Amino acid sequence: MKILHTSDWHLGRLLLGERRDTVFTQFLDWLLTTLKTEQCDALLIAGDVFDSTVPGTSAQKLYYSFLARVRQETACRTVVITGGNHDSPMLLNAPRDLLSAFDIHVVGRATGDPANEVVVIRNPDGHPAAVVCAVPFLREGDLSTLSDEETHLDRRQRLIDATANHYRTVVDKALEICPAAQDSVPLIAMGHLFAAGGATGSTERDLYVGSLADVPDTVFPEAVDYLALGHLHRPQIVAKNPSHCYSGSPFALDFSESASPHQVNLVEFTGKTPVVTSITVPAFERLLHVAGSADNIIAAVKEALTDPAPGFLDVEHTGNLTAPELLQTLNDLLKDAPLKLLRFIDRAAEKAAFLTKHAVNVEVEELTPEKVFELRLEAAKVDENDSERVSLINAYQELLFSLHDAEQE
């Protein structure tokens, strides 16, 4: 029994206004080939198929064309898709009855009936091969009644308890529908949430189930043999449990994710025991973030141009001296090149503009992070004797120390 676990495609997402249909198409073509090569029995997509609740027609066409090709071109018998926080439950669920006729099962949103979140994957002979608890992104309204009289901690605990109860109820229903999952058939659960301790990137918008920032691994019943999670874009395991996994996004969604690994998870079961293997997704385009002085930036861009692969460039000039000619130099270097400059930020120019605006008599080279913050407090007219000023400076220094410590790790 082989399943392929993926999530967070974010079809239709723009990169600083740039369409990425080519990358989406290349990934889906690669995924189709992987399903064939690995002879997968099932495909699990754990949320955020789309980047928006109102995806464009091109994104929807990619999605439905891919599903059709899975049925037409592979031996993959079952596809299970759950809604994420970016997805529209109504849009995902609209063709649910039609898709289910082709063994493609969609759960856009939780309902009051746990049986709606249970999918049995069957062997060609009709016997159960696995059972899936297809739990989508859980909104607070799906879990419990709001209360105005509880503290933040009370509310958080209520939502954790409600999440645990939801998983327990769906797992119990799965065991009722497929009793063999108690001892011989794999029981798989899906989820789209922020598990406690998970590592995030800058593109993951804060996920809250109500005001709940994360959930402990204890909410998932011990009966679950493999947990297929989505939402966090970095592939990782939860609470040191190798069978509780985020597959991560299969490609970088912005420049901050370009250095992270991108993969899908191949899960092969022997009985109820899963063996998880990560399959690296090729980089279909380069996303390069270059920061530093003007000379360092020019050198880095020239080095990048020795690679003919296409991609996008994000440049951040952090030198002390302004470099008014840098942007023109970059445009000249990139003319007819495979790299396209999407963003250019000149921090030195920003500092100079700030000083000019506030008429501060200090050289740019003399600025430190602390000095810039003090100038900002002065601009906001925060009095030197104000206790708030002391608190703000202390908090800012703690932040600088934290950033320094992170850079040293």
What is the spatial order of strands in the sheet that 339-346 belongs to? 286-292, 311-317, 339-346
| Domain definitions of the chain by residue range | 2-280, 285-358, 368-409
pLDDT over 90 for what percent of the chain?
A: 71
Which residue do the tokens 């209360």 mark? 147
For residues 28 and 146, which has the higher predicted lDDT (pLDDT)? Answer: 28
Does 123 have pLDDT greater than 80?
Answer: yes
Q: Which two tokens stand for residue 351?
A: 């500092």
Arithmetic mean of pLDDT, 32-59 = 97
Q: Would you state the CATH architecture of domain 285-358? A: 2-Layer Sandwich (3.30)
Identify whether the C-beta of residue 25 lies closer than 8 Å to the C-beta of residue 101.
no
Taking the alpha carbons of 394, 399, 400, 406 in that order, is the dihedral positive or negative? positive
Q: Is the pLDDT score of 203 beyond 60? A: no
Determine the average pLDDT of the residues in 219-235: 97
Crossing angle of helices 387-408 and 369-379, in 10° steps, is 150
Using DSSP's 3-state secondary structure scheme, residue 53 falls into coil
Distance CA 43, CA 112 (A): 25
Judge contact between 177 and 131, C-beta under 8 A.
Answer: yes
Q: Determine the residue type at 20.
A: R
Examine the pLDDT at 407 and tell me if it is beyond 60.
no
Read off the amino acid at residue 371. K
Q: pLDDT at residue 369 above 80?
A: no
pLDDT in tens, 133-167: 999 999 888 887 666 677 778 888 888 999 999 99
Choice between 152 and 17, residue whose per-residue pLDDT is larger: 17
- The answer to whether 195 touches 135, Cβ cutoff 8 Å, is no
Smallest Cα–Cα separation from 199: which of 228, 226, 233, 227?
233
> Residue 28: pLDDT band by 50, 70, 90 thresholds?
very high
Superfamily of chain region 2-280:
Metallo-dependent phosphatases (3.60.21.10)
Tell whether the model's pLDDT for residue 210 goes beyond 50. Answer: no
Provide the token pair at 120.
């049995």
